[in-house]
Chains A and B, each alone.
Chain A
């Protein structure tokens, strides 16, 4: 990599400095994209997820193709919800940045933060056509104070 002196007319030096940085920026963006959908260490898929929030409830929907209801574990701490599920068969998908490769996955795993604190004990979940939908009521903040 060439270095140019400040104020010199040697433009090629600037290009040499910029080029590797640009390359790493693009590669980094592709890797960020990959991290959104895969955890390659645990060979887990991260499912698509949608969060809707109203004054009364937070609803989280996960898209879980290739999953049976009995293989789903759903947990919540009140400020986050996590899903883990085995796929009914191994799934091979292309992953990677500039050069892609085939990787086999056998499960989903994702934990998402919720926009409001919810009551995890009162969560109600359904699983239809591969869509897992869980609705939590918003945790009550404060209440009436009894005066003795």
Chain B
């Protein structure tokens, strides 16, 4: 069973991780519109966060991507002071997704983290029909009363009814079980296409939540290049999402 026995995912910390202090842990996994991956990668680059850990698992694809002569782990953790950012360059199949979410919730608790912030997208017809000038709405759901009362103040809208699937669902549930505050941000995005505009909207909310200035101008200016470069990851992610959706219950009775 997934819930018993030893975890199949391990977080390997590097030396720099010792300098963290009650961090907020932002998680960006490739899912709808690649919003999480785009936002988390931009955050790391913009704030020049050093790599502090990586994820080790036999469930990861047996592939190493080499960039500028340096092998890169597919799931890396960056951070400094009160902020940690988890970035995955690969879509996660069901078992890996569950194990990673569980491990991240446990790791945040062990590190006495302030909260876990999941960043993802939610497909929206309004977004597709818009001319790209309107900032996409960001919906938010949390297990924490204090965070819930600040949702409007940080520029998000409460997510009232619907379904959250896969990694972010497990992350929310595992955090709730362990008593770790979780806020999941869902930016309205394109279905099936990378959406840097939606990632920028999520980052603007994050900026207010974490009280860290994040300038999204460069992300928006380079949106076309990002869309082109992420075609392959988007395609792989769509295939993973379709397999997940086939197993998702559609009826909610209460």
Give me the interface of A with B, judged by CB distance under 8 Å. Answer: 33, 36-37, 45, 47-48, 50, 61, 63, 65-66, 91, 93, 128-131, 133
Contacts and interface: CB of A to CB of B under 8 A. Distances in A.
A77 to B, nearest CB: 24
A138 to B, nearest CB: 20
Interface string B175-195: 000000000000000111110
A65 B232 CA distance: 15
B115 to A, nearest CB: 33
Given A48-B192, A63-B190, A66-B228, 4 more contacts: A47-B231, A48-B234, A65-B223, A129-B132
A128 B235 CA distance: 21
Given A128-B130, A129-B131, A50 B191 contact: yes
B128 interface: yes
Contacts of A36: 232, 235
B111 to A, nearest CB: 36
A63 B229 CA distance: 12
Q: How many of chain B's residues touch chain A, expressed as a range?
A: 20 to 34
A144 to B, nearest CB: 35
A113 B231 CA distance: 20
- Among A50, A91, A129, chain B packs the most CB atoms within 10 A around the CB of A129
22 contacts: A36-B232, A37-B232, A37-B235, A47-B231, A48-B193, A61-B192, A63-B227, A63-B231, A65-B223, A65-B225, A65-B228, A66-B228, A93-B229, A128-B128, A128-B130, A128-B131, A128-B132, A129-B131, A129-B132, A129-B197, A130-B224, A131-B190
Interface of B: 128-132, 190-194, 197, 223-225, 227-229, 231-232, 234-235
A91 B129 CA distance: 26
A38 B26 CA distance: 34
Which 6 residue pairs spanning A and B have beta carbons closest together?
A: A129-B132, A65-B224, A50-B192, A65-B227, A63-B193, A128-B131
B30 to A, nearest CB: 14
Contact of A93 (B193, B197, B228): B228
A65 B194 CA distance: 11
Contacts of A61: 128, 192-193
Nearest to A47: B231
Contacts of A66: 224, 228
Contacts of A45: 228
A128 B231 contact: no
A65 B129 CA distance: 16
Contact of B128 (A47, A48, A65, A131): A131
A66 B224 CA distance: 6
Given A48-B234, A128-B129, A129-B130, A91 B190 contact: no
Nearest to A51: B192
A65 B131 CA distance: 13
A37 B231 contact: yes
B70 to A, nearest CB: 14
A131 B235 CA distance: 16
B193 A50 contact: yes
Contacts of A50: 191-193
A48 B131 contact: no
